[in-house]
Amino acid sequence: MEKVLTVSKRKLLAISGTGWMFDALDVGILSFIIAALEKEWHLTPPQMGWIGSVNSIGMAVGALLFGILSDRLGRKPVFMITLLFFAIGSGLSALSPTLAFFLFLRFIIGMGLGGELPVASTLVSESVPAIERGRVVVLLESFWAVGWLIGALISYFIIPDFGWRIALAITAVPALYVIYLRRGLPDSPKFKSVNPSQKESVLQRVQSVWSKPFAASSLMLWVVWFMVVFSYYGIFLWLPSVMVLKGFTLIKSFEYVLIMTLAQLPGYFTAAWLIEKTGRKFVLITFLIGTAISAYLFGHGESLAVLMTAGILLSFFNLGAWGALYAYTPEQYPAAFRGTGSGMAMSFGRIGGILGPLLVGNMVAQKAPSGTIFSLFCIAILIAVLFVWILGKETKQTNVD
């Protein structure tokens, strides 16, 4: 019996993680495409910022819509629909003739990405035993680093010689195969155990998220998601462009960001190892503080050695914090409205993803020093630390039925 459970768990993690990997591949490649589009379409910094922000607008809509739908239709069917949004949107975006058309498709892709992430983490969280729930969800998140790394490799080897359109087309085709694989996945046992007659309406589920027993957790999650997404998209979507602004060529900036990206995997694996030993709060707070310090050092760094060291640490701590946050979020709510609660928190967080790239674009246009820009992200992360410390409750190995 244990062998069957292990195989089933590995299959769930592999198939769910592969879809997650393609999501990360898209977001990762986007940061390089923004830098390439700036040269090809002669974009202004605010226009470059809008590419990342429209993506986050779609993610905000998708997280809210598909999170709510997953509590009504089930985790699995919504899980498959979200990847379809991504695959079709990504394939068509390779044909974009104008910035406006590209932005429209980025919204569609964002809806798929935004819906995928809360539903996938909820499905996996509900499908494994409590004793290893946090570790498995962080391992699911680690597929994000693999996808981002593949995106960096495609960008480095494909975009300079073959262009950004070929790079985008490469990302779309394999995603369709993952949709086929997902047909064999079982739905969440906890979702199936909810009595259909006891399922609440959308309004009731939203009210439950902010009812007295869950209000403090919801406030904490909304603030943390906002600050983490605000800083992540503000920093990482602009990373290759910031390296160019610091005097490096486009090819060199791709190379250096690729090296920084390698640190994401050890960040995830370290968080996965710690999360069942030290608890969610300790891992989240520790990795967020590491992110804040690394962001400050990167923004104020001038030499290549300082920039690379700070960039590697930034990737390590930031992505480890993301893994812990994805494990922590579904554990705040019962199965009846877990998708709604997780989706609402992540949807609100995407507002930060809209503002972050726009803020950087406008500050770059106004010739603001990178140290000033990254100091703002440092402060945002420290605010998130404060809310986790004060309002967060430890959920390690607790019953989340």
pLDDT of 60-82, one tens digit each? 899 899 989 988 888 888 888 88
Main-chain phi, psi angles of 49, to 5 degrees: -65, -35
Q: How far, CA to CA in Å, does 15 sit from each of 20, 155, 239, 269?
A: 9, 25, 30, 19
Which amino acid is it at 357? P
Which residues constitute the domain of residue 348? 7-180+207-391
Question: Is there a domain that residue 287 lies in?
Answer: yes
Q: DSSP alpha helices (H): ranges in 264-369?
A: 264-278, 280-300, 304-328, 338-365
54 falls within a domain: yes
Mean pLDDT of the chain: 85
For residue 397, tell me if it sits in a domain.
Answer: no
Here the CATH number for the domain that contains residue 92 is: 1.20.1250.20
- Asked whether 352 and 233 are in contact (CB, 8 A), the reply is yes
- Does 339 map to a domain? yes
Query: Count of domains in the chain?
Result: 1
Check: pTM over 0.85? Answer yes or no.
no
Q: Average pLDDT in the 213-220 region?
A: 96
Name the range with the highest mean pLDDT among 6-10, 201-205, 389-393. Answer: 389-393
Whether residue 30 is predicted with pLDDT greater than 50 in this model: the reply is: yes
Assigned domain for 194 exists: no
Q: Is residue 197 part of a domain?
A: no
Residue 191, domain member (yes or no): no
Q: Does 33 score more than 90 pLDDT?
A: no
Mean per-residue pLDDT for 236-260? 76
Distances (CA, A) of 95 to 88, 90, 152, 237: 12, 9, 21, 22
Number of helical H runs and strand E runs in the chain: 17, 0
Backbone angles phi, psi at 185, to 5 degrees: -75, 140
2 is a domain residue? no
